[in-house]
Amino acid sequence: MKQVQNSIPENCICVVGIPFDKNSSFLKGAALAPAQIIKSYFSDSSNLWSEKGCNLEAIEHLYDYGDLGFKIGEDEFNTLTNFVEKVVDQNCHLICLGGDHSVTYPVIKAHAKKYNKLNILHFDAHPDLYDTLDGNIHSHATPFARIMEKKLAARLVQAGIRTMNGHQLEQAEKFSVEVHEMKDILNWPHEFQFDGPVYLSLDLDCLDPAFAPGVSHHEPGGMTTRQVIDIIHTFKGQLIGADIVEYNPDRDINSMTSMVAAKFLKEIIARIYEDTN
Ligand code: MN
Ligand code: MN
Instruction: Give the distance (Å) from ligand 2 centre to CA of residue 205.
Output: 5
Instruction: Give the distance (Å) from ligand 1 centre to CA of residue 240.
Output: 20
pLDDT tens string 256-274: 999 999 999 999 999 999 9
What is the pLDDT, as a whole number, of residue 81? 98
What is the pLDDT, as a whole number, of residue 43? 98
Instruction: Give the distance (Å) from ligand 1 centre to CA of residue 146.
Output: 13
Task: Give the three-state DSSP class for 241.
Answer: strand
What is the pLDDT, as a whole number, of residue 124? 98
Tell me the β-bridge partners of 95: 15, 242
Say if residue 219's pLDDT is above 90.
yes
What is the pLDDT, as a whole number, of residue 276? 92
Instruction: Give the distance (Å) from ligand 2 centre to CA of residue 45.
Output: 28
Residue 177 pLDDT grade (very low, low, confident, very high; cuts 50, 70, 90): very high
How many beta carbons lie within 10 A of that of residue 67, not counting itself?
Answer: 16
Quote the percentage of the chain above a pLDDT of 70. 100
> What is the dihedral sign for C-alpha 217, 220, 226, 232?
negative
In CATH, which superfamily holds the domain spanning 2-275? Ureohydrolase domain (3.40.800.10)
Instruction: Give the distance (Å) from ligand 1 centre to CA of residue 230.
Output: 20
C-alpha 117/C-alpha 132 separation (Å) is: 26
Closest by alpha carbon to 93, among 167, 186, 11, 202?
Answer: 11
Residue 277 pLDDT grade (very low, low, confident, very high; cuts 50, 70, 90): confident
Residue 113 pLDDT grade (very low, low, confident, very high; cuts 50, 70, 90): very high
Instruction: Give the distance (Å) from ligand 2 centre to CA of residue 246.
Output: 7
pLDDT tens string 28-41: 999 999 999 999 99
pLDDT tens string 139-175: 999 999 999 999 999 999 999 999 999 999 999 999 9
What is the pLDDT, as a whole number, of residue 112? 98
Mean pLDDT, to the nearest integer, of 92-111? 98
Mean pLDDT, to the nearest integer, of 3-9? 93
Instruction: Give the distance (Å) from ligand 2 centre to CA of residue 121.
Output: 14
Ligand nearest to the CA of 215: 2
pLDDT tens string 229-247: 999 999 999 999 999 999 9
Say if residue 6's pLDDT is above 90.
no
Instruction: Give the distance (Å) from ligand 1 centre to CA of residue 245.
Output: 7
Ligand nearest to the CA of 140: 1
Query: What's 249's DSSP letter?
Result: G
What is the pLDDT, as a whole number, of residue 215? 98
CA count, 13 A, side-chain hemisphere, 67: 16
How many beta carbons lie within 10 A of that of residue 163, not counting itself?
Answer: 17
Ligand nearest to the CA of 143: 1
Mean pLDDT, to the nearest integer, of 127-133? 98
Instruction: Give the distance (Å) from ligand 2 centre to CA of residue 90.
Output: 31
Instruction: Give the distance (Å) from ligand 1 centre to CA of residue 46.
Output: 28
Mean pLDDT, to the nearest integer, of 91-117? 97
Instruction: Give the distance (Å) from ligand 1 centre to CA of residue 203.
Output: 5
Q: Output the CA–CA distances (angstroms, integers) from residue 257 to 14, 133, 232, in the order listed.
A: 22, 27, 18
Mean pLDDT, to the nearest integer, of 94-104? 97
Delimit the domains of the chain by residue range. Answer: 2-275
What is the pLDDT, as a whole number, of residue 237? 98
Instruction: Give the distance (Å) from ligand 2 centre to CA of residue 4.
Output: 30
Provide the mean pLDDT of the chain.
97
What is the pLDDT, as a whole number, of residue 156? 98
Identity of the amino acid at 264: F
pLDDT tens string 60-84: 999 999 999 999 889 999 999 999 9
**Cβ pair 50, 266 in contact under 8 A:** yes
Instruction: Give the distance (Å) from ligand 2 centre to CA of residue 57.
Output: 31
> What is the dihedral sign for C-alpha 88, 92, 98, 101?
positive
What is the pLDDT, as a whole number, of residue 72? 84
Ligand nearest to the CA of 244: 1
Instruction: Give the distance (Å) from ligand 1 centre to CA of residue 133.
Output: 13
Instruction: Give the distance (Å) from ligand 1 centre to CA of residue 10.
Output: 30
